[in-house]
């Protein structure tokens, strides 16, 4: 990542937040700045409260909202968690039924809402995110959430987060019932909690998932029951072979579901 694109900014008065900023700058190999007065287009900022991805105010004439993860906006549990039921298309796609909560690996965690929602409903979920900036935002959001007893009590041990390339990691993990793939494509919006401007900023940092077909094929080899691929409504399948077992439509997208034959674990 170009150092002219992104840097870490020390914006907090609290020593612990400043220590986190310095550690993240070292981990990501990015410059650490004391103020917003620099040439980087985007800033990764530890405020007094959270980690945010911000536009450099000196590089835009408009007031842009920062990108961050907040599972308790205004002190209330996120509406997505409260309103999703097992009849939701996502839940049907991954195999949730009354009395059944499959184990799930979300191979392209992104901003995390799909996987976190499934964990909230009782599934054991492993989130994997390879982009270090997005992983840092997601880690910070989950860390703050588990400080709230409501989140901790319901999620419990259902949610884990890992950083890395899912194509490389999947063959070495314990099998899950469902492997979920939601690649970042230029023509779609990943992470419905973000508006278009916020999504544009995030996409510029992350780029496209040019190896999504390889990830899909790896998922087919490592899932126990099914692979679920989230796609724009009118997009081509992620791969011409195999064909989805069935599709579940949403208002602006769909889930392609690939049911797998039983595997011999001997």
Residue 243 C-alpha from the chain's centroid: 26
pTM, full prediction:
0.90
pLDDT at position 190 is 45
Q: Give 94's pLDDT tier (boundaries 50, 70, 90).
A: very high
Separation between Cα atoms, residue 260 and residue 95, nearest integer Å: 12
Residues in Cβ contact with 183 at an 8 Å cutoff, skipping those fewer than 6 apart: 108, 190, 208, 209, 212, 215, 229, 238
pLDDT at position 197 is 67
Smallest Cα–Cα separation from 243: which of 233, 232, 229, 253?
229
Q: For 33-57, what is each residue's pLDDT tens digit? A: 887 677 788 999 999 999 999 988 8
Q: 110 with 182: CB under 8 angstroms?
A: yes
- Write down all domains in the chain, each with its CATH number in brackets: 6-59 (no CATH), 73-196+206-259 (3.40.50.150)
Separation between Cα atoms, residue 208 and residue 186, nearest integer Å: 7
Q: For 4-36, what is each residue's pLDDT tens digit? A: 789 999 889 999 999 999 999 999 999 998 876
């Amino acid at each position: 990542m170009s150092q002219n694109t992104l840097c870490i900014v020390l914006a907090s008065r609290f020593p612990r937040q400043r220590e986190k900023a310095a550690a993240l700058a070292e981990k990501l190999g990015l410059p650490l700045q004391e103020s917003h007065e620099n040439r980087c287009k985007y800033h990764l900022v530890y405020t007094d409260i959270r980690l945010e991805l911000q536009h450099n105010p000196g590089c835009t004439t408009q007031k842009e909202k920062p990108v961050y993860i907040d599972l308790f906006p205004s002190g209330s549990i996120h509406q997505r968690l409260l309103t999703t039921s097992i009849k939701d298309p996502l839940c049907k796609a991954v195999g949730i039924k009354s009395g059944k909560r499959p184990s799930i690996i979300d191979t392209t965690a992104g901003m995390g809402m799909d996987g976190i929602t499934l964990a909230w409903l009782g599934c054991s979920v492993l989130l994997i995110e390879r982009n270090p900036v997005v992983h840092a935002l997601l880690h910070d959001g989950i860390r703050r959430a588990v400080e709230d007893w409501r989140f901790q009590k319901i999620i419990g041990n259902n949610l884990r987060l890992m950083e890395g390339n899912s194509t490389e990691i999947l063959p070495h993990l314990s099998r899950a019932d469902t492997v979920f793939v939601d690649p970042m494509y230029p023509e779609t919006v990943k992470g419905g909690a973000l508006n278009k401007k916020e999504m544009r900023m995030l996409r510029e940092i992350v780029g496209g998932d040019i190896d999504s077909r390889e990830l899909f094929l790896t998922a087919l080899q490592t899932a126990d029951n099914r692979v679920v691929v989230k796609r724009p409504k009118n997009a081509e399948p992620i791969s011409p072979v195999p064909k989805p077992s069935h599709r579940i439509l949403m208002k602006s997208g769909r889930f392609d579901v690939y049911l797998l034959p039983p595997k011999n674990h001997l």
